[in-house]
Amino acid sequence: MAARTLLDKIWDAHLVAAESPTTPAILYVDLHLVHEVTSPQAFADLRTRGLRVRQPARTLATMDHSIPTRPVSADGSIPFVTPEAEQQVRTMRENCRYFGIELLDMDDPSRGIVHVIGPELGVTQPGMTIVCGDSHTSTHGAFGALAFGIGTSEVGHVLATQCLLQRKPKAMAIEVRGRLSPGVDAKDLILHIIGRIGVDGGTGSVIEYRGEGIRALSMEQRMTVCNMSIEAGARAGMIAPDETTLAWLRDRPRVPKGADWASAQAQWEALHSDQGARFDRVVEIDAAEVRPTVSYGTHPGMVVDVDARVPRVGNALHQRALDYMGLRAGSPIAGTPVDLVFVGSCTNGRLSDLRAAADVLRGRKLAGHVRMLVVPGSAAVKRAAEQEGLDRIFRAAGAEWREPGCSMCIAMNGDFVPPGRLAVSTSNRNFEGRQGPGARTVLASPASAAAAAIAGCIADPRSLGGQEAVA
Amino acid sequence: MTPVRHIHSRTVLLAHENIDTDRIIPARFLTTTTRAGLGRHAFQDWRYRSDGTPDPEFVLNRPEAMGAAILVAGRNFGCGSSREHAPWALLDAGFRAVISSEIADIFRSNALKNGLVAITVDAPEHRFLLRHPGIELRIDVAGGEIALPDGGRFGFSLDAFARHCLVEGIDQLGFLQRHEAAIQSYEEQFA
Ligand code: SF4
């Protein structure tokens, strides 16, 4: 057989029907994750057509986008931002009950952001096809799965048939040569990559991240990288499973056990691109060139090293973005005043991210005018962080410690950045208005975000310590 | 689904590159549980000033935009999230087609499933359309052609299956369901 890419292998293994010039392939879906925002209309379609969910056991639902991250009120009520948000959550509950789908509800100890809990529970496994009505489904590709976001119509297709109509994407390789320098995080790497290839650099493709610089990353860091594949326009990102992957998965609650684990492991070990497999495009990145990186504009490709100056580009779009952000071309990005800091999201809301932020904050105080929100990615992350005392570090520094959820990443639950305010955020999108109407977003790593909170302005985290945690 | 074969309309221009789905429909309007009524929030933060009144400067609020069903947008339209609320909002706001030199993958797929014709044209044609706001176009979906008022024509390609579904009004879920036997045999063997 000809040399195949990792994408080829997973694709081929899930073909119910191959594609032809006139019809797309029918692809089987192993795991369908569902959340409250992109599913109600799909469930409504099923009801209208009198259909059932074909494979409830392959479907897992949670609530993460519309839910408040403030604790339950003294009177036991949950502080939803609007009655619509509460109604959406109720609809999710009713749909799960009606269709027999497991729901990790707001009081469930394993609930959290959908892309954080899949890997935590071990439902995310190598070689799987995983979909969710959410573009950051690409996160799960860190385990060597083919994982991508779908629209609500497709959510309905998968609920009803466990299949999707898909054209095969192109295979793109990003080879990271060498290892990241101490004090440089996976977030810096992916921002650097998007800066290099552009926000449409991956359009039509699945990116396989490869090379020594990727192998050296922890699972959590790999998830950060794959998470933002969509910000480069790609359908998905993936990393071949290895020892690091197996070590993460072993003993997770929902992985195969005993003899099944052994046979699963044997299968997973074959999941890598063959020697000589052909990619449609290969991009090489030199890890040594990556420095702490932040965004300065209004899309995730507008990035700059934290110790560099805001680029001068003589076009109207660029100028418009700078005007929106209140920045001047040619000025150093460091030193830009910051109003808010957000640590959280499916990009950087895992335990290692909170540790990296806490390492910078330990024994320090937020700058007087800065407000900081730390929102764990899941209930499990929250518990683990509290066990280590990270919540006390955040609180002592003056930050707010919240309940898990998407929160200020998407600003639909009442957590938002006020108009004209600048937030350094560990999330993934800095579009105009993403974190609230008129909000200004600077994307950064957890260490850079924490450094900004202390300095009161954008700052190089290497100047403040805390490197151990991210090295 | 209602078949979509021809679209005949003036264009309206949003020339910005990288118009993302948060722009098209901000997240705070995603708490809805239906598809209906999103049109009034399409491009909300461009269309309305902070006091809630329409911004008369914004192109979609200008008289010449009224009734235009073809949106010509800058490169990489629809990037960002997978929210199908974006095409729902555009359809509800009266658009039937979006033309750009590049359209983000998930947005295009979502749009086509809802009968919003997402068309990519080559850069020179795109530049022409950007230079001629309000031009009257006839889009022939089956033929893959855009006719200009002076008789000129642009070709465009559309995925064959997506075009077939548009032109014949085929519902993709129904199409999948007709492959029940294949799905079942896959499940027996592998799943
Ligand atoms: S954290 Fe942000 S990007 Fe991730 S799923 Fe939630 S809203 Fe989407």
The pair of structure tokens assigned to B1 is: 């689904």
Nearest to B138 by CA among B147, B130, B129, B126: B147
Q: Compute the C-alpha angle A237/A239/A242, nearest 5°.
A: 165
Q: Compute the C-alpha angle A206/A163/A25, nearest 5°.
A: 60
Q: Tell me what pLDDT residue A465 has.
A: 57
- Please judge whether A87 and B33 are an interchain contact, meaning their C-beta atoms are less than 8 angstroms apart: yes
What is the rounded CA–CA span in Å between residue A139 and residue A347?
Answer: 8
> pLDDT of A186-221, one tens digit each?
999 999 999 999 999 999 999 999 999 999 999 999
Nearest to A299 by CA among A233, A362, A358: A233
Report the relative pairing of strands B6-14 and B136-140 from DSSP bridges.
antiparallel
Q: Is the pLDDT of residue A123 over 70?
A: yes
**Number of CB atoms found within 10 A of residue A49's CB:** 13
- Quote the mean pLDDT of chain A: 96
- C-alpha distance from residue A359 to each of A212, A391, A464, B67 (Å): 26, 12, 10, 57
What value does the mean pLDDT take over residues A356-385? 97
| ipTM beyond cut 0.90 | yes
What is the rounded CA–CA span in Å between residue B172 and residue B97?
Answer: 19
pLDDT band at A72 (very low <50, low <70, confident <90, very high): confident
With H, G, I as helix, E, B as strand and everything else as coil, classify residue A120: helix
Distance between B18 CA and the closest CA of chain A, angstroms: 8
pLDDT band at A467 (very low <50, low <70, confident <90, very high): very low
What is the rounded CA–CA span in Å between residue B133 and residue B128?
Answer: 9
Q: Is the pLDDT of residue A353 over 70?
A: yes
What is the rounded CA–CA span in Å between residue A44 and residue A27?
Answer: 23
Which residues of chain B lie closer than 8 angstroms to A17, CB-CB? 179, 182
Using 70 as the pLDDT threshold, list the residues of chain B that sit under it.
none
- Please judge whether B104 and A233 are an interchain contact, meaning their C-beta atoms are less than 8 angstroms apart: yes
Q: Tell me what pLDDT residue A1 has.
A: 75
Phi, psi of A137 (to 5 degrees): -55, -20
What value does the mean pLDDT take over residues A106-129? 97
- The answer to whether A138 and A229 are in contact (CB under 8 A) is yes
What is the rounded CA–CA span in Å between residue A311 and residue A333?
Answer: 9
Region at B126 (left for phi over 0; alpha for psi -120 to 50; beta for the rest) = alpha
What is the rounded CA–CA span in Å between residue A218 and residue A187?
Answer: 12
Q: Tell me what pLDDT residue B187 has.
A: 97
- The answer to whether B117 and B96 are in contact (CB under 8 A) is yes
Residue located nearest, by CA, to atom 6 of ligand 1: A406
Diameter of chain A by CA atoms?
65
pLDDT band at A471 (very low <50, low <70, confident <90, very high): very low
pLDDT band at A76 (very low <50, low <70, confident <90, very high): confident
Q: Compute the C-alpha angle B60/B85/A436, nearest 5°.
A: 75
> pLDDT of A275-310, one tens digit each?
999 999 999 999 999 999 999 999 999 999 999 999
- The answer to whether B140 and B15 are in contact (CB under 8 A) is no
The interface residues of chain A toward chain B in range 124-183, judged by CB-CB distance below 8 A, are: 133-135, 149-154, 156-157, 160-163, 165, 167
The interface residues of chain A toward chain B in range 369-398, judged by CB-CB distance below 8 A, are: none
- The answer to whether A183 and A175 are in contact (CB under 8 A) is no
Distance between A139 CA and the closest CA of chain B, angstroms: 14
Provide the percentage of residues in chain A whose pLDDT is more than 90: 95
Helix (H) or strand (E) run with residue B38 in it: none
Phi, psi of A190 (to 5 degrees): -70, -35
Q: What is the dihedral of CA A412, A103, A154, A114, to 10 degrees?
A: 50
Q: Compute the C-alpha angle A89/A119/A261, nearest 5°.
A: 130
- Please judge whether B81 and A156 are an interchain contact, meaning their C-beta atoms are less than 8 angstroms apart: no
